[in-house]
Structure 1
């Protein structure tokens, strides 16, 4: 007999925050799995969720693409217009949003394909969640993912520009998943300040991922969205 549960959350690095927020007495209702564990070249270990039959499936694949493109300052420094944010900082080169859209869409493709391959294994309603919001800035104590370590001499791009890239990515994710009948769940408002940046207290070991406190807010967002 399959193990029937209310919500199964499958994905990659952003599942860690949610997994850490699921209380023990909810383990029979909510299960959250990083599908990369023990996976080969496919990057999805299907054995980790074999035999689980959810009433709702949540996909948390990819999500850091906007950071790959825009976290580290570029040469020349660039900016974009993404309504309602249409101001361009002095000294920055305007890049058409459509060009950056294509770059992010290209970066998103592999994670979306993994998500869709997982979605095809279930016949329940499916949803995709937004990645954590951007951060404002860092200090000397901040640790960034190792992929960015060798690039830090160039500095961190301005927060306002990175916020635009994040919103552009969320727009593309929502649009892409909607075309596959998958609804998009945005990041919780309670995780952001009034400018749309993630609160410092919600960072994990690095500011591009949320901690278990962020995971709790995201879990509440999922439950509210699903009505469970």
Structure 2
């Protein structure tokens, strides 16, 4: 299993260069976006600067290949044994925005975000009602991903967080050169959508995820500001070599923020 430091944390916890004793566990469960954190944790282990988060990758069948190490049912049982002092961190799902807004639609479209004016729309596009697109993402969030979040939340008294997926990459040429295989045929025929549309749809998903997490009693955790440019796009140094994911450097930033914000806030309430 791809796990790090599964023992109970009656020992070492690290924040920056500071050590302290903690009596709780931190477990992470996620899909493909969790790979950045796993790679970052492996790097820290090699540098003798370990993370105190046990990382589980969701086990799925992809063709003839099995990816991941822990099924949802197995993780639910693990989470069931945690206490209110422990923490569960979710990186489940997160690519609904990419499915809708990575490939250029045959009829270019745009959406008007709440509070925006018509000058924010791109010329030559069809205006699609914001609620129509939001309803698709809403259904995706509350489908497989939402059911998984709800199962974990119902099973455990632990404090629970959900990591919002990284924002889109501004560089369309990069996406044309490096993208997941499922996008290949359509990108070759239709091209890549505009960065502005990709950002609008990601923001839509981010807002809907916050709403859903609030309903479930889960704390939504936004991407690290240090990884974003002035318009909220993922900075190039944090790109993984595909259309949607972030890399190990991004995972290092996430680990740092998790340790600084979550661990310290947990210490303050104990």
TM-score w.r.t. the length of structure 2 is 0.75
CA distance in 1, matches of 2:259, 2:8: 17
Match of 1:193 in 2: 229
Gaps of 5+ in 2: 1-5, 10-24, 61-65, 265-270
CA distance in 2, matches of 1:83, 1:48: 37
Encode CA deviations 1:29-55: one digit per residue, 9 max, x unaligned: 211111225589x96261698487471
Query: Runs ≥4 in structure 1, deviation > 6 angstroms?
Result: none
Contact 1:135–1:197 (CA under 8 A) maintained in structure 2: yes
- State the number of aligned residues: 226
CA distance in 1, matches of 2:248, 2:172: 20
1:111 aligns with 2:111: no
Please identify, of 215-224 and 194-203, the stretch whose mean Cα deviation from structure 2 is larger. Answer: 215-224
Match of 1:162 in 2: 198
Contact 1:33–1:48 (CA under 8 A) maintained in structure 2: no
Question: RMSD value over aligned CA atoms?
Answer: 2.6
1:117 is displaced (CA, Å) by: 1.6
Report 1 or 2 for greater relative contact order, CA contacts < 8 Å, sequence distance ≥ 6.
Answer: 1
Match of 1:60 in 2: 91
Question: Which structure shows the higher helix fraction?
Answer: 2
Encode CA deviations 1:119-165: one digit per residue, 9 max, x unaligned: 33322110111001101123377221112111112011100111010
Per the alignment, do residues 39 and 114 of structure 1 end up closer, same or farther by CA in structure 2, a change over 3 Å counting?
farther
1:147 aligns with 2:182: yes
Computing the radius of gyration from Cα coordinates, the structure with the larger value is 2
1:221 is displaced (CA, Å) by: 2.3
1:177 is displaced (CA, Å) by: 1.1
